[in-house]
Copies of this chain bind each other. A is one copy, B any other.
Amino acid sequence: MSNDLYRFTATEALKRFEDGSLKVSEYATSLLDHIDRHQPTVQAFEYIDRSQVLQQARALDDVPKDKRGPLHGVAIAVKDVIYTKGMPTQHNSPIYKDDQPEVDAASVMMLRAAGALILGKTRTTEFAATVKGPATTNPHDSSRTPGGSSSGSGAAVADFQAPVALGTQTGGSTIRPGSFNGVYAMKPTWASISREGQKVYSLILDTLGLYARSIDDLKLLAEVFGLKDDQPPRALTDGVKGMKFALLRTMVWDQAGLGTRNAMERGAELLKSHGAEVKEIGFPADFDRLPDWHSCILKSDGRTAFRPEYMVAKNKLDRSLVEHVEEAHGYTRKTYLEAFDGVSALRPKWDAIAQEYDAVIVPSVPDEAPGGIESTGSAVFNSMWTALHVPVINIPGFQGEHGMPIGLSLVAPRYHDQALLEVAKVVGEIWESEGGWKSKL
């Protein structure tokens, strides 16, 4: 039994810390042993130091009960583009090899203040800005990618190496690994959690992302990070019964493979069979340029973001990022502003559409995780939501032709993060139990 401590969700572990039946150091030891066994294959961590973790754990055990924070002892893995005191932050870039800025990102500062145990740093694609996979493999099938750019965070949570983890998303870097690894992943409303201390790719797109194996755990993190809707979310005591969902295939539906096509169909059917209404909707025509606009903003902002590294060591920068800086994309400032202002004008329009429903169901990915770890896959179904700044939660439950997990995303209007978490909880209960996919880990 004690060998299985690492399998607890954050909520389950917290309960045991609270009732005194589990010490943080015991729990940490179980996690560390499990990580040691799996790291050679999964390679989720870029940096983890056993003695440093145990030292934190013992210090937490010494905190008197009345001084403990809401995340007391909760272990969390941090994507390696987010600053952490006492640990290197290397961005999977040779320019930052062994670099250790002695500063905590805002997110990490809040986590520590809440009593969390910072486990270590998880692997990322270079600066969370390329699709070239790091060494991380998909824990469900090591011949496949775990997705990216938050490769290590998605894999670590799926593989029980951490109950929760931080990722980031500029295109699809949080939601895609969520789907590929079969875990819950949340991209909150843009700028609703401080992104201070998280590597910049595009200011208007970059968003902190959260991973967990349960919605309750995401809610724990959301609470600590201060996510708060205007209206307190209503308690959903009757499942999805009477709820109104929209199903939106999006303008890039032609890129959906069989796995995602089946998942969308099955996901809608299940909700209907539990008493929900599911209405198919389409984007208004003025949303058509959204994917192009995202791409223009991303690449143009990449010029500004990577200019410092370009000036210091152009030869150590991935070719795609050099091209951003050198404006190989050819976008003018005028085109950039059209994209920037165009997306800005769509945001309130989307909110107005989405607020007619409890949530909008959309694809998370084109299909299950592709073979090979060279490429982390496509963000085509995610980038529009990143640009629109809306909260998105990937819910696992479905599977592809090769038995790999596939998730679907729920989307809401901006600053409806708490409400979306409640909806995701009841939807997740259905999809996870009846969607057809079960983790074998």
In the complex, which residues 167-207 of chain A have their Cβ closer than 8 Å to any Cβ of chain B? 191-196, 199-200, 203-204
Within 8 Å by CB of A200, from B100, B196, B333, lies B196
Q: Which of A113, A301, A347 has the most CB of B within 10 A?
A: A113
Rounded to whole angstroms, the CA-CA distance of A110 and B199 in the bound complex is 16
Q: Please state if B311 and A415 are interface contacts (CB–CB under 8 Å).
A: no
Measured between alpha carbons, how far is A114 from B308 in the docked complex, in Å?
Answer: 10
Which of B99, B196, B308, B348 is within 8 Å of A110, CB to CB? Answer: B308
Instruction: Looking at the assembled complex, report how far the CB atom of A323 sits from the nearest CB atom of chain B, in whole angstroms.
Output: 15
Q: Closest CB of chain B to A92's CB: distance in Å?
A: 17
Closest Cβ neighbor of A301 among chain B residues: B191
Q: Is the CB of A194 within 8 A of B345?
A: no
Decide yes or no whether A307 CB sits under 8 A from chain B: yes
Selected contact of A230 from candidates B308, B309, B333, CB within 8 Å:
B333
Report chain B residues within 8 Å CB of A269. Answer: none
Contacts of A307 in B (CB 8 A): 106, 110, 194, 225-226
A5 CB-CB contact with B under 8 Å: no
**A101 contacts partner chain B, Cβ-Cβ < 8 Å:** yes
Q: Is A109 an interface residue (CB 8 A)?
A: yes
A312 touches B113 (CB 8 A): yes
A142: CB under 8 A from chain B?
no
Residues B347 and A341 in contact, CB atoms below 8 Å apart: yes
A301 vs B102: C-alpha distance when bound (angstroms): 25
0 or 1 for each of A268-310: is its CB under 8 Å from B? (1 = yes):
0000000000000000000000000000000001011101110
Q: Mark A320-364, 1 if CB is under 8 A from B, else 0.
A: 000000000000111011000100110110010000000000000
Contacts of A311 in B (CB 8 A): 109-110, 113-114
A134 to B348, CA, bound (A): 41
Closest chain B residue to A305, Cβ basis: B194
Instruction: Report if A226-B304 is in contact (Cβ < 8 Å); known contacts: A101-B102, A337-B351.
Output: yes
Q: Which residue of B lies closest to A336 (CB)?
A: B415
A414 within 8 A of B: yes
Instruction: Note all chain B residues with C-beta closer than 8 A to A341.
Output: 344, 347-348
Contact between B337 and A415, CB atoms less than 8 A apart: yes
- In this assembly, does A258 line the interface, its C-beta being within 8 Å of a C-beta of chain B? no
A103 close to B (CB within 8 Å): yes
Indicate if A18 sits at the interface (CB-CB under 8 A).
Answer: no
- Does A229 touch B at the CB level, under 8 Å? yes
- A104 nearest CB neighbor, chain B only: B308
Q: Considering the chains assembled together, what is the distance between the CA atoms of A204 and B200 in angstroms?
A: 14
Known: A102-B100, A106-B200, A333-B230. A192 touches B304 (CB 8 A): yes
Contact status A304-B194, CB under 8 Å: yes
Contacts of A301 in B (CB 8 A): 191
* 13 other A-B residue contacts (CB within 8 Å) besides A106-B200, A110-B307, A194-B304: A83-B103, A101-B102, A106-B305, A191-B304, A195-B200, A225-B307, A230-B332, A230-B333, A230-B334, A337-B351, A337-B415, A344-B345, A345-B345
Can you list 15 pairs linking A and B with CB atoms under 8 Å apart? A101-B102, A102-B102, A106-B305, A191-B203, A193-B304, A194-B304, A194-B308, A226-B307, A333-B414, A336-B415, A337-B347, A337-B415, A341-B348, A344-B345, A344-B347
